[in-house]
Amino acid sequence: MSHWLHRIYRGRRSMLAAVIAGGILLGLIWPAAPRGAAQGAEHPIQSDGAYAVADVVDQVGPAVVFIEVQYRQVERPRTGPGFPWDPFRFPSEWFWPFPQPGPRSGSGSGFIIDEEGLVLTNQHLFGRPDMIERIQVTLPNRDEPLTAVLIGSDFELDLAVLRLEGEGPFPVVPMGDSDALRVGEWVIAIGNPYQFEHTVTVGVLSATGREIQISDQSEGRVRNYRNLLQTDAAINPGNSGGPLLNLRGEVIGINTAVSTRGQGIGFAIPINEAKKVLDDLIHRGMVVRPFIGIRYMTVDEAAVQQLQLPVDYGILIVDVIPQTAADRAGLRVYDVITQVGRQTIRNTEDFLKAIEGMQVGDVLLLTVIRDGREMAVRVEVGERPQGL
């Protein structure tokens, strides 16, 4: 190879190496294009990476709303939804990102999930439905707020659904799959912290499966949250009920709680938890939960000796709630359940696994030991009464 040809060859190799190196460097600096965008996803966002977050905000931002709740005047102010609220009065280290600017109002966030105007948000924004005077919802692209009606809510899951009173079709936030999330992936929160409308923050999914407790003074109960998503995306008062999104622009969680002690510790309800109960919330106004109506414990050595049981395993019924499925089936206190169908029950964990997934109307065939004799009892699963 002549000298000048060798110089051209070496120059082209250098340029190729520079291009490859530059591509690697850019890949380290800019977020990768959203996963699934090239696989024919239902709601993909096409992005060159540098503007992935901005593309998500452009697409779903119009469907993220600002919620204001007006309450009727009461004789004596007290802490709770619709009243002056101080998160540091709570004994828990967690609180809702839910500002309370005055004795008759509250505010939060939500997002539209249906073109006809259904809004998904947190239930704790409406802790006293009987005291609500008016709900107004402001959309980013509309000058005037719309009136909304609370059509369904659930205390345990802290979910609520509103229906907008206005002409559609409305913009919609597509739902993702929270079970497919990976710790460390990018997430985006959109909401209205401190009434700074339509604020966008970015972080990563820090963890999954978190459990926390928050005292609800308006209800006089403690909320036990399970299976929450944890994120370091900034969540502040006013973000309650807003969406936590992936880089495909799909909602994967509902922003719900933050830590009073640390920074960058926020929590969201997985969207798959909401999917399971949306139909009940929309059409029945509440979540219908299957219920048998017994309180029980694992059979232990003390129970075997005191009750002279012929077995040392199973679950011992310690209470039968009147007018429930168990009561109608004839179950009694001190009955021992040793089987559900063909599955042997040795402890409470076995029993919970055996009845997992049961639905109202299902029939359970229980093997029961009563007064030393084995018998079969058929129980038609009922609906859990409100308040239990």
Residues with a known catalytic role:
124, 158, 240
Adjacent-strand bridge partners of 254: 269
Length of the chain: 388
Question: Residue 335: which residues within 8 A CB-CB, separation 6 or more?
Answer: 316, 317, 368, 369, 370
Closest CA relative to residue 105, chosen from 139, 145, 67: 67
Question: Residue 55: which residues within 8 A CB-CB, separation 6 or more?
Answer: 45, 46, 47, 249
- CA distance linking residue 315 with residue 360, whole number of Å: 22
Residue 117's identity, in one-letter code, is G
Question: Residue 163: which residues within 8 A CB-CB, separation 6 or more?
Answer: 116, 117, 118, 119, 148, 149, 151
